[in-house]
Amino acid sequence: MINEMTQRASEHDQDYMRRLGEFMAAVKADELGEHLSLSVNERLTRSDRLSKRSGGRDAKRAAPEDLAAFFQRARHLGLCRG
């Protein structure tokens, strides 16, 4: 009887995790679709805004000058305005 309960729980857990994975994949697909619907300018502007909002988090990985140079180059190439 214990083996039957363990097997049922295991099947239940596997089903739950499968459904959770499917849900998360659908959410990621929606997020990607939303991202790809933006123009390059909108993506760069959004990226710039997000990086300024949470710049302290990434301070150890990249100097702020690197980010400024990135957006300056993007503006120079006409990829974003502002």
Quote the pLDDT of residue 45.
Answer: 87
Q: Alpha-carbon dihedral of residues 29, 33, 35, 36, nearest 10 degrees? A: 130
Summarize pLDDT for 10-59 with one digit per residue, the tens.
787 888 888 999 999 999 999 999 999 999 889 988 888 877 775 555 55
Claim to verify: residue 2 and residue 16 sit in the same structural domain: yes
Claim to verify: residue 9 and residue 46 sit in the same structural domain: no
Does residue 32 contact residue 24 with C-beta atoms inside 8 Å? no
Total number of domains in the chain: 2
Domain of 76? Answer: 39-82
Quote the pLDDT of residue 14.
Answer: 84
Claim to verify: residue 33 and residue 45 sit in the same structural domain: no
The larger pLDDT score, comparing residue 72 to residue 32, is at 32
Quote the pLDDT of residue 17.
Answer: 85
- Give Dmax (Cα) for the chain: 71
Claim to verify: residue 32 and residue 43 sit in the same structural domain: no
Residues 6+ apart with CB under 8 A from 64: 55
Please state, as a whole number, how many other Cβ atoms lie within 10 Å of the Cβ of residue 19: 10
Claim to verify: residue 18 and residue 45 sit in the same structural domain: no
DSSP-derived 3-state class of residue 81: coil
Claim to verify: residue 25 and residue 64 sit in the same structural domain: no
pTM more than 0.85: no
